[in-house]
Amino acid sequence: MSDFYDVIVVGAGIVGLATARQLLTDHPSLRVAVLEKETGPGRHQSGHNSGVLHAGVYYKPGSLKAQLCVDGKARMERFADEHGVSYELCGKLIIATEESELGRLADLEERGHANGVPGLRVVGPEELREIEPHAAGIRALHSPRTGIIDFAGVTRTLARLLVEAGAELYYGHEVRSITRVGDESVVTTGRGEFRAKNLISCAGLHSDRVARMDADPEVAIYPFRGDYYTLTPEARHLCRGLIYPVPDPALPFLGVHFTKRFDQEVWAGPNAVLAGEREGYKRSGFDLRDLTETLRHPGFPGLARKHWKTGAAEIFRDVVKAKFVKDLQRYVPEITGKQLVFGPSGVRAQAVDARGGLVDDFVLSSTDHSVHVLNAPSPAATASLAIADRLAGQAAQTFGLSSVR
């Protein structure tokens, strides 16, 4: 097999599919192919997340996350309305349970207002209980328009719309090499060879590997597994919407929290444990290549030195349910271990630099013939349509595409 395309997109997660669709919206005459190693769309981060539609509270003003989350959420709501995807603006409380957290809570409020988060305000303990009757805390930040959505449904819809727009989706095609021959990229998969003038990579958990076939990504992906518990049906009343802690600003993770789901389940978690494999959804998951790459990366010693205490605490909480329950009880004191059933897990593709720094913002890089998404953790699903618009614009400039906008 050797087919020629104007643009090949690697990865059929929510960002890759949205980007391919935006390209065809802007440039309807393009011949676009999407290559995906799995047998269907959204099989990893897009289909293994909590389903939260983030409003933009957490992110540094001016960062890509801040810009694209707020814009992306508005786009996602319009998309869901247009295509019948389930979502609900159930609201979120970010709760401080002790005085030492109030400064960080105030910083979050300032960030949220700077980012244009609608309706954001501080509430005291009495109003906190009116919003979430079973929650506890001394003060909270209320984001009434934070929501929940069926991101897997969004991904399936994007895949269908892409086919209708004329794109070609190839499932079961794991990219094994990318070679530049003249002004073409030859992309070899396990099932054939494809040629394209230009390339966009949205490969998620394998983004650094795909980028390394074509360029120098400068970061490496470390897989962090997050395990959730689900509340038993009898305990779901303990959470009406989203109940979150005040996060540690030194880490890109938000801490264990309660998440109402679009299907009315309630999830509790996740933790954040360095996984033994890129697709390590099980605690026992192990892949020698994946683990060796992580341990040999120049940034690993620095990361271990800076965060070993946090890592040890996360591992302890992962294997000792009583510790998990105790942390949840800070925010919902009534919850008990009997009301928690071990649930799903997700793996976050977290970029780490050569000094061991956890890269916080989205990272997009380009050559004269390619664009690579190197870091797109949460809120990438919320921001996906805005990320796609940014990528399509960057691709048009980099590749010299004429636009119909």
pLDDT tens-digit readout, 48-64: 999 999 999 999 999 99
Helices and strands in the chain, H and E counts: 10, 20
Residue 250: its pLDDT value, please? 75
- Is 359 within 8 Å of 229 (Cβ atoms)? no
d(CA 15, CA 308): 32
Q: How far is CA 111 from CA 55, 63, 119, 297, 314, in A?
A: 12, 11, 13, 33, 27
* DSSP percent split of the chain into helix, strand, coil, nearest 5: 35, 25, 35
Query: Where in the chain are all domains bearing CATH 3.30.9.10?
Result: 89-145+220-352
- Is 128 within 8 Å of 95 (Cβ atoms)? yes
Residue 279: its pLDDT value, please? 96
CA proximity to 204, closest of 76, 373, 370: 373
Q: How many CB atoms lie within 10 A of CB 164?
A: 10
- Inter-residue long-range contacts of 209-212, CB under 8 Å, 24+ positions, other chains counted: 210/10, 210/11, 210/175, 210/178, 210/372, 211/365, 211/372, 211/374
As beta bridge partners, residue 179 has: 186
Residue 403: its pLDDT value, please? 57
* CATH code 3.20.20.100 for 2-46+152-219+361-399: no
* CATH code 3.30.9.10 for 89-145+220-352: yes
pLDDT tens-digit readout, 286-299: 999 999 999 999 99
Tokens read off for 27? 């440039």
Residues 6+ positions from 213 with CB-CB distance below 8 Å? 175, 177, 178
CA proximity to 77, closest of 56, 53, 61, 99: 53
What is the three-state SS of 253-314?
Answer: CCCCEEEECCCCCEEEECCCEECCCCCCCCCCCCCHHHHHHHHHCCCHHHHHHHHHHHHHHH
Residues 6+ positions from 275 with CB-CB distance below 8 Å? 223, 224, 225, 285, 347
Query: Where in the chain are all domains bearing CATH 3.50.50.60?
Result: 2-46+152-219+361-399
Residue 251: its pLDDT value, please? 76
Residues 6+ positions from 31 with CB-CB distance below 8 Å? 4, 5, 6, 7, 166, 168
Residue 278: its pLDDT value, please? 96
- Is 145 within 8 Å of 89 (Cβ atoms)? yes
Residue 2: its pLDDT value, please? 55
Residue 405: its pLDDT value, please? 46
Residue 371: its pLDDT value, please? 96
Q: What is the pLDDT along the chain (405 residues), one digit of tens a residue?
A: 458 999 999 999 999 999 999 999 999 999 999 999 999 999 999 999 999 999 999 999 999 999 999 999 999 999 999 999 999 999 999 999 999 999 999 999 999 999 999 999 999 999 999 999 999 999 999 999 999 999 999 999 999 999 999 999 999 999 999 999 999 999 999 999 999 999 999 999 999 999 999 998 989 999 999 999 999 999 999 999 999 999 987 777 888 999 999 999 999 999 899 999 999 999 889 999 999 999 999 999 999 999 999 999 988 998 899 999 999 999 999 999 999 999 999 999 999 999 999 999 999 999 999 999 999 999 999 999 999 999 999 999 999 986 554
Q: How many CB atoms lie within 10 A of CB 300?
A: 17
CA proximity to 392, closest of 371, 375, 376, 362: 371
- Is 377 within 8 Å of 52 (Cβ atoms)? no
- Is 260 within 8 Å of 324 (Cβ atoms)? no
Tokens read off for 192? 């054939």
